[in-house]
């Protein structure tokens, strides 16, 4: 059987594409719902996890209600780079940070779409997202997503070419 | 299987023809190039993920700061030493896993010229100071800020450690959870016998 270069390259390209897709997008299920180790309390249901490309798409899509995007990690890292339009609301791992988060969202309708993100350190080590997500859940918010940044904000958002804003 | 994959590819070519208006034979001739394009895309994605590469083989950005014990830390004064410059924070669990090893390295390799410098990216210096005392760090720690973060290519996630040679040039950057044994092997090579 004769296999042309075109067909061979098509097959390899397809396999390569699948390898890329699965290597970068199948991680959340492994972490979601499981208590992370060492310094993290991360327990995010799979359905609430949002991929970076999905959030970026949402930001670019005209019309519709835009989510309130909140950074719940380090203020210094937020100052170095954050998602345009996002707000810093304190560290989710600290009581003062959770109070700041509560104050920011308290007056909002409970169906308001909210996206939480951090990216301070690897996803399964993040100490901030779990408590912040739990706080919003306890307050009755029903449309909360958490941005999945596998390694950190620099690697999984900034270096991927998604928009970044600097400043506090 | 390869036939099926190829068939799917050709159907996609047909769709593309409708969308961008390029004749089908011309598009078919581009199919072999897809693989090269995807390889390029993969490589460029991987390299983009490592902001580190931007500083490797370049002079380490200089800074002068006071450490948490109010002693002056001037990176230029470390010329002639091998420096591990470690960005960390108290909220970063992987950072704290590294620290006992850094303490051991400073003890073991300090006499051969290794110097470790910590840069805390905490918002609150008191928290950094508390952990430094608790862990009994035996190397200087200075407080970081946006300025020093930008100098080092944007510290948007921790931990990050830079290996700086005796000439003040960055030889490696380690981002995220890294195999500490490999870091040790690399700085030992720079330390020499």
Report the CATH number that the domain containing residue B129 is assigned in CATH.
3.40.30.10
Mutate to test the interface with B, among A74, A89, A132, A161 (most CBs of B within 10 A): A74
- The alpha-carbon gap from A82 to the nearest alpha carbon of chain B, in Å, equals 9
Indicate whether B9 and B78 sit together in one domain.
Answer: no
Indicate whether B85 and B9 sit together in one domain.
Answer: no
In angstroms, rounded to a whole number, what is the distance separating the alpha carbons of residues A94 and A73? 10
Q: Lowest mean pLDDT of A26-40, B59-73, B156-170, name the range.
A: A26-40
Contacts of B34 in chain A (CB under 8 A): 9-10, 13
Helix count and strand count (H, E) for chain B: 7, 7
- Whether A9 is in a domain gets the answer no
Listed in sequence order, the DSSP H helices in chain A are: 5-25, 28-31, 52-60, 75-80, 95-105, 129-138, 153-156
Which domain-ending residue is among B13, B33, B49? B49
Per the structure, the complete domain to which residue A145 belongs is given by 27-160
The answer to whether the CB atoms of B92 and A6 lie below 8 A apart is: no
Q: What is the CATH number of the domain that holds A106?
A: 3.40.250.10
Tally the domains of chain A: 1
- Whether A7 is in a domain gets the answer no
Contacts of A12 in chain B (CB under 8 A): 35
Per the structure, the complete domain to which residue B127 belongs is given by 54-191
- Whether A21 is in a domain gets the answer no
Indicate whether B182 and B107 sit together in one domain.
Answer: yes
Contacts of A156 in chain B (CB under 8 A): 49
The whole-number pLDDT of residue B74 equals 98
Indicate whether B178 and B100 sit together in one domain.
Answer: yes
Indicate whether B17 and B59 sit together in one domain.
Answer: no
- Whether A150 is in a domain gets the answer yes
Indicate whether B42 and B70 sit together in one domain.
Answer: no
Which tens digit of pLDDT belongs to each residue from A44-93?
899 999 999 999 999 999 988 899 999 999 999 999 999 999 999 999 99
Given pLDDT bands bounded at 50, 70 and 90, which one contains residue B185?
very high
Task: Give the closest of B32, B97, B155 to A6, CB-based.
Answer: B32
Indicate whether B75 and B146 sit together in one domain.
Answer: yes
The whole-number pLDDT of residue B139 equals 98
The whole-number pLDDT of residue A52 equals 97
Q: What is the mean pLDDT of chain B?
A: 80
- Whether A77 is in a domain gets the answer yes
The whole-number pLDDT of residue A20 equals 38
- The alpha-carbon gap from B98 to the nearest alpha carbon of chain A, in Å, equals 12
Which tens digit of pLDDT belongs to each residue from B145-180?
999 999 999 999 999 999 999 999 999 999 888 899
Given pLDDT bands bounded at 50, 70 and 90, which one contains residue B193?
confident
CB B151, CB B61: distance < 8 Å: yes
Q: For residue B103, with 0-12 CB atoms within 10 Å meaning exposed, 13-18 middle and 19 or more buried, which class applies?
A: middle
Indicate whether B38 and B59 sit together in one domain.
Answer: no
pLDDT of A7 strictly over 80: no
Tally the domains of chain B: 2
The whole-number pLDDT of residue B96 equals 93
The whole-number pLDDT of residue A90 equals 95
pLDDT of A26 strictly over 80: no
- The alpha-carbon gap from B55 to the nearest alpha carbon of chain A, in Å, equals 15
The answer to whether the CB atoms of A7 and B91 lie below 8 A apart is: no
The whole-number pLDDT of residue A11 equals 52
Please, what's the b/e burial string for A142-151 (b: 16 or more CB within 10 A of its CB; e: otherwise)? eebbbbbbbb
Indicate whether B70 and B137 sit together in one domain.
Answer: yes
Contacts of A154 in chain B (CB under 8 A): 51, 154-157, 175
The whole-number pLDDT of residue A69 equals 98
Indicate whether B30 and B99 sit together in one domain.
Answer: no
Given pLDDT bands bounded at 50, 70 and 90, which one contains residue A132?
very high
The answer to whether the CB atoms of B92 and A81 lie below 8 A apart is: no
Indicate whether B21 and B105 sit together in one domain.
Answer: no
The answer to whether the CB atoms of B91 and A6 lie below 8 A apart is: no
User: Does A48 lie at the interface with B, CB-CB under 8 angstroms?
Assistant: no
- Whether A4 is in a domain gets the answer no
In angstroms, rounded to a whole number, what is the distance separating the alpha carbons of residues B157 and B146? 13
- The alpha-carbon gap from B87 to the nearest alpha carbon of chain A, in Å, equals 12
Residues 6+ apart with CB under 8 A from B52: B153, B160, B172, B173, B174, B175
Contacts of A40 in chain B (CB under 8 A): 93
Indicate whether B28 and B75 sit together in one domain.
Answer: no
- Average of pLDDT values for A107-121? 96
Interface A-B, measured as beta-carbon pairs within 8 A, has a size of 146
The whole-number pLDDT of residue A113 equals 97
pLDDT > 90: percent of chain B: 67
Which tens digit of pLDDT belongs to each residue from B3-58?
333 333 333 333 434 433 444 444 454 444 444 443 443 333 333 333 444 799 99
């Amino acid at each position: 059987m004769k296999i042309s270069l075109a067909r061979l390259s098509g097959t390899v390209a397809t396999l390569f594409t699948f390898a890329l897709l699965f290597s970068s997008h199948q991680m959340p299920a492994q972490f979601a719902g499981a208590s992370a180790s060492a310094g993290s309390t991360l327990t995010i249901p799979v359905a609430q996890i949002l991929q970076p490309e999905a959030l970026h798409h949402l930001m670019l899509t005209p019309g519709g209600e835009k989510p309130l995007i909140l950074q719940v990690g380090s203020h210094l890292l937020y100052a170095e780079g954050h998602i345009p339009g996002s707000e810093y609301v304190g560290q989710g791992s600290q009581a003062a940070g959770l109070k700041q988060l509560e104050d920011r969202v308290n007056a909002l309708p409970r169906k308001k779409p909210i996206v939480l993100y951090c990216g301070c350190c690897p996803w399964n080590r993040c100490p901030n997202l779990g408590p912040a997500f739990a706080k919003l859940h306890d307050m009755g918010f029903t449309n909360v997503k958490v941005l999945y940044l596998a390694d950190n904000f620099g690697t999984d958002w900034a270096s991927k070419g998604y928009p970044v804003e600097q400043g506090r | 299987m390869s036939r099926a994959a190829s068939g799917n590819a050709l159907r996609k070519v047909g769709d593309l023809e409708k969308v961008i208006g390029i004749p089908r034979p011309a598009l078919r001739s581009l199919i072999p190039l897809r693989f090269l394009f995807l390889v390029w895309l993969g490589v460029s994605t991987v390299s983009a993920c490592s902001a580190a590469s931007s500083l490797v083989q370049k002079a380490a950005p200089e800074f002068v700061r006071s450490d948490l014990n109010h002693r002056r830390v001037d990176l230029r004064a470390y010329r002639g030493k091998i420096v591990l410059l470690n960005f960390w924070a108290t909220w970063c669990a992987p950072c704290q896993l590294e620290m006992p090893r850094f303490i051991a390295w400073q003890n073991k390799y300090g006499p051969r010229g290794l110097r470790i410098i910590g840069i805390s990216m905490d918002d609150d210096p008191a928290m950094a100071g508390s952990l430094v005392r608790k862990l009994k760090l035996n190397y200087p720690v200075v407080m970081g800020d946006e300025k020093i973060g930008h100098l080092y290519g944007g510290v948007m996630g921790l931990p990050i450690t830079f290996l700086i040679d005796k000439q003040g040039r960055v030889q490696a950057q380690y981002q995220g959870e890294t195999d500490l044994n490999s870091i040790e092997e690399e700085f030992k090579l720079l330390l020499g016998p």
